[in-house]
Structure formats: C-alpha cells, structure tokens
C-alpha cells in the first residue's frame, strides 16, 4: 500500500474517533442535566406525599392545642381563690335588675321585685316576713343606714352557691373559726376588724342576700 493511502486512512479513522468522542460527551452532558433536574424538581407523587404530611402535622397540632385549652371547673366556689360557678341567666338578670334599682335608691321598685318572688320574702328579723319592705327600708335610709347602697355593694362581691341558691357575699357561707384559706379570701374584701367581729360573734353578721337558680329574690337582711 502506498504511503499516501495509509496516511489518508489514518486521518479518516481519527476523524471518526473524534466524532464518537464528541457524541459521548453530548450524551454525558444530557444525562447530567437530567439527573440535576430530577434532584431539583419534585415529582407529582413527591409533592402529594409532602402535602399529606403537612396536613397530618397541622391536624395533630390543632388537636394538641384543643386538648391543652383549660376549661372552667364546676362546683361551689367564689371568685377569690378559685373559679366562679357561672351564674344562670335568670340569676344574672335578677342581679342586674336589683343593681339598677339600688343605684337609684328605688325602694318601691325593690319591694316589687321582692313581691314577685316567694311570699315570705325576709327583709328584717324584727319585721314579719312577706310584708311590704318599702317603708322599713326608707326609715333606715333616713336614719343614715342606706340599704340600697349595701345591696349594691354586696351584689358586686364574690358569691357562693348553696343548694341551688346564689348567696352574696360569700362570707355568709363561712363558719368561724376561719381557716387560713378562708381568712385570706375574707381579707381581700373585708377589714380585719370585721373579720374579728364575726369570729367573736360566731357568724357573718353583715348584710346578705340570695337569688334562687330560677331568679327569685329570696331575702335581704342584716344581723341575726
């Protein structure tokens, strides 16, 4: 074979080898790009799985939050040292009515509310129960002892619940000698002199009132 033919064939072989090398390089680059694309873009199945996991996590957080929410504690109590027993709607309506009348010192209006309840409404240990308390309250008002102001004052104090009746103030339900917790409750609303007087007397002796769970005004008295 002539030297020129050998050289020509050698160059042709080199050109074919170079072409195959460039093709291999292109294929390698394409494969690399495909792999990179798979790593940065989530497939639909991957996206759905992630969304489902997110929803499950959110549901779990919501459930835990609800379980951790504190609830009110039922049972006789006062607003001092414990949660209140929620007043029934009828009781709160009567309390608001009495507060409005007491602020106006409307003794006739208060007597009317008393008459709408039980027949033997008690307003004084020295007067017969069931009578018209208007004149009695007015006499006290003229003597300097304002029953209306006392009624408004105690209706704004913590109350207690006994046998379905709501009693103001809660001190009326405590029996001396007072324990440490009871004394702490009392000291937040009454003077040391008053507390000592009740302990000596053997019972709370100030004004007190009560409303039944049905909203009836039961009594409003002081002393014993």
Q: What is the pLDDT of residue 72?
A: 28
What is the reported pLDDT for 124? 86
pLDDT value at residue 130: 61
- Give the tens place of pLDDT for each residue, 135-156: 999 999 999 999 999 999 999 9
Of the candidates 170, 107, 99, 169, the residue with the CA atom closest to the CA atom of residue 137: 107
Q: What pLDDT shows up at residue 128? A: 63
For the entire predicted model, the pTM comes to 0.61
Q: What is the DSSP letter of 87?
A: P
Region class of 131: left (phi > 0), else alpha (psi between -120 and 50), else beta = beta
Using 50 as the pLDDT threshold, list the residues of the chain that sit under it. 1-8, 10, 12-14, 17-19, 21, 23-26, 29, 31-33, 35-36, 38-83
pLDDT number for residue 74: 31
DSSP classification of residue 170? G
d(CA 126, CA 147): 15
Q: How far is 217 from 208, CA to CA, in rounded Å?
A: 12
CA distance 156 to 174: 18
The residue extents of the domains of the chain are 3-68, 89-221
Residue 172 confidence (pLDDT) = 95
**How confident is the model at residue 86, as a pLDDT?**
81
Say if strands 208-212 and 165-168 run parallel, antiparallel, or are unpaired: antiparallel
């Amino acid at each position: 074979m002539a030297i020129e033919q050998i050289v020509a064939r050698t160059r042709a072989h080199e050109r074919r080898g170079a072409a195959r090398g460039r093709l291999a390089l292109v294929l390698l680059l394409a494969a690399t790009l495909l792999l990179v694309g798979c790593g940065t873009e989530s497939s639909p199945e991957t996206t759905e799985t992630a969304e489902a996991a997110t929803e499950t996590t959110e549901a779990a957080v919501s459930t835990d939050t609800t379980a951790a929410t504190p609830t009110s504690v039922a049972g006789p109590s006062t607003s001092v040292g414990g949660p209140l027993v929620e007043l029934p709607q009828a009781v709160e309506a009567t309390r608001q009515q009495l507060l409005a009348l007491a602020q106006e010192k409307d003794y006739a209006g208060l007597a009317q509310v008393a008459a709408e309840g039980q027949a033997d409404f008690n307003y004084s240990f020295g007067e017969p129960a069931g009578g018209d308390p208007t004149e009695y309250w007015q006499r006290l008002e003229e003597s300097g002892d304002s029953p209306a102001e006392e009624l408004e004052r105690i209706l704004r104090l913590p109350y207690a619940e006994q046998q379905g009746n709501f009693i103001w103030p809660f001190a009326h339900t405590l029996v001396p000698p007072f324990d440490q917790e009871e004394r702490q409750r009392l000291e937040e609303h009454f003077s040391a002199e008053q507390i000592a007087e009740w302990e000596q007397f053997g019972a709370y002796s100030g004004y007190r009132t009560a409303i039944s769970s049905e909203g009836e005004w039961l009594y409003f008295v002081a002393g014993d």
